[in-house]
Amino acid sequence: MARKPRIHYPGAVYHVILRGNAGQPIFFKDADRFRLYLFLQESVERFGYRIHGFCCMTNHIHLVVQVADTPLSLIMQNLSLRYTKWVNYTQGRTGHLFQGRYKALLLDADAYLLELVRYVHLNPVRADMVPLPQEYPWSGHRAYLGSEVLPWLTTEWVLSLLGRRTDSARKAYRQFVADGMGEERRNEFHSGTCEGRILGDDGFADDALHKANQLRKREWTLPEIVASVCRRYGIAEEQLKSPGKTRPFSEARALAAVIVQESPHLSLTELGRLFNRDASALGKAAQRMLSRSRADVELAANIEDVRGALSKCPNV
């Protein structure tokens, strides 16, 4: 399946995660983290972006990044390459340090920035590494409290959401983080709410994709596909599960399989379980239908009708 392009526009905010290859450590001594700090300082100055929060764990890194004109992909490529070279040199090793492509989740900062910064800074607490976030030296938490100076970390935006004066905002930030101490893993900060790469409501997603000159592709569900196919053929869902190859039921099943094959987030195995059919048989039926539709105008119209109906469905 082709990778979806990164969403870029000036001012975009992302939750970025860099993981060690095969879950292996990426930090071996304190000097490694200090070296990463240096690379972050130089990177921020060179590319003109902002870091609003971060946490360096043993085998992965969390960053809350706001870009300017330079795309995140160029920033992360430069940062990961420089740090990998450093570790390979100091450890006498070769090869990849990080696991594949970094994870980047675009987020609606107005709705999620404050909670995401707290979530990132509480990573060591959730991992039972420290009882309190201020006891962990490798995150942005202490800089937010004013007990550490990190010139490449921007704290003003988040603090401004909590108070007009720096001292009162820091006090409010401390309490806000303390209130989230019992928070468990939040899947939305890893998987988002749209296409696996956006965290925000439909309005934000549409606006972000418009800014990035990308079209939004809806990810419909199996029930939506089945309902649309049944409407087209005027049959009930239960009839698609019945044995035999009687038309129009067999044709409706094949059409559902066509749509599933075109949907990267779905699988024929799931459809097979729903219809009590073998996944490979459904796949072959879908291919036969597509082949026949080149010469069968009515069949082609059925396929296009279901595609169109699904694309017009409201998001769920």
One domain for residues 242 and 132: no
Average pLDDT for 30-41? 97
Q: Per the domain annotation, does 78 fall within a domain?
A: yes
Q: What per-residue confidence (pLDDT) applies to 295? A: 87
Pick from 27, 48, 43, 50: which is nearest to 138 by CA? 27
Q: Please identify, among 211, 240, 265, the residue that sits at the C-terminal boundary of a domain.
A: 211
Q: What per-residue confidence (pLDDT) applies to 34? A: 97
Q: 37 vs 5, which has greater pLDDT?
A: 37
One domain for residues 151 and 228: no
Is-contact 55 123, C-beta < 8 A? yes
Q: 247 vs 207, which has greater pLDDT?
A: 207
pLDDT at 2 over 50: no
Residue 42: CATH number of its domain: 3.30.70.1290
Binned at pLDDT 50, 70 and 90, residue 294 comes out as: confident
On average, the pLDDT of the chain sits at 90
One domain for residues 146 and 267: no
Q: Per the domain annotation, does 156 fall within a domain?
A: yes
Give me the helix-helix angle, 72-91 and 30-47, nearest 10°: 150
Round to whole Å and give the CA distance between 160 and 44.
21
Binned at pLDDT 50, 70 and 90, residue 222 comes out as: confident
One domain for residues 32 and 99: yes
One domain for residues 17 and 155: yes
Is-contact 261 283, C-beta < 8 A? yes
One domain for residues 128 and 240: no
Q: Per the domain annotation, does 8 fall within a domain?
A: no
List pLDDT tens digits, range 182-221: 999 999 999 888 777 899 988 898 888 888 887 655 678 8
Q: Per the domain annotation, does 1 fall within a domain?
A: no
Q: Per the domain annotation, does 3 fall within a domain?
A: no
Average pLDDT for 226-252? 84
Q: Please identify, among 211, 246, 261, the residue that sits at the C-terminal boundary of a domain.
A: 211
One domain for residues 266 and 304: yes
Q: Per the domain annotation, does 6 fall within a domain?
A: no
Round to whole Å and give the CA distance between 229 and 248.
11
Q: What percent of the chain has pLDDT over 90?
A: 60
Round to whole Å and give the CA distance between 316 and 299.
29
One domain for residues 101 and 121: yes
One domain for residues 19 and 103: yes
Pick from 94, 129, 111: which is nearest to 193 by CA? 111
One domain for residues 247 and 130: no
Q: Per the domain annotation, does 147 fall within a domain?
A: yes
Could you identify the residue written with the tokens 């004013």?
146
Q: Per the domain annotation, does 303 fall within a domain?
A: yes
Q: How far is CA 77 from CA 18, 82, 190, in A?
A: 11, 9, 20
Q: Please identify, among 211, 240, 262, the residue that sits at the C-terminal boundary of a domain.
A: 211
Distant-in-sequence, close-in-space partners of 17: CB < 8 Å, separation ≥ 6: 60, 61, 62, 63, 102, 103, 104, 190
- Tell me the sheet residues that pair with 147: none
pLDDT at 313 over 70: no
Q: What per-residue confidence (pLDDT) applies to 254? A: 92
In total, how many domains does the chain have? 2
Q: What per-residue confidence (pLDDT) applies to 312? A: 61
Binned at pLDDT 50, 70 and 90, residue 240 comes out as: confident
pLDDT at 125 over 90: yes
pLDDT at 315 over 60: no
Round to whole Å and give the CA distance between 194 and 153.
28
List pLDDT tens digits, range 53-108: 999 999 999 999 999 999 999 999 999 999 999 999 999 999 999 988 899 999 99
Range of the domain at 290: 222-312
Round to whole Å and give the CA distance between 232 and 300.
13
Burial classification of residue 237, based on how many CB atoms lie within 10 Å of its CB (0-12 exposed, 13-18 middle, 19 or more buried): middle
One domain for residues 201 and 110: yes
One domain for residues 244 and 278: yes
Binned at pLDDT 50, 70 and 90, residue 243 comes out as: confident
Residue 284: CATH number of its domain: 1.10.1750.10
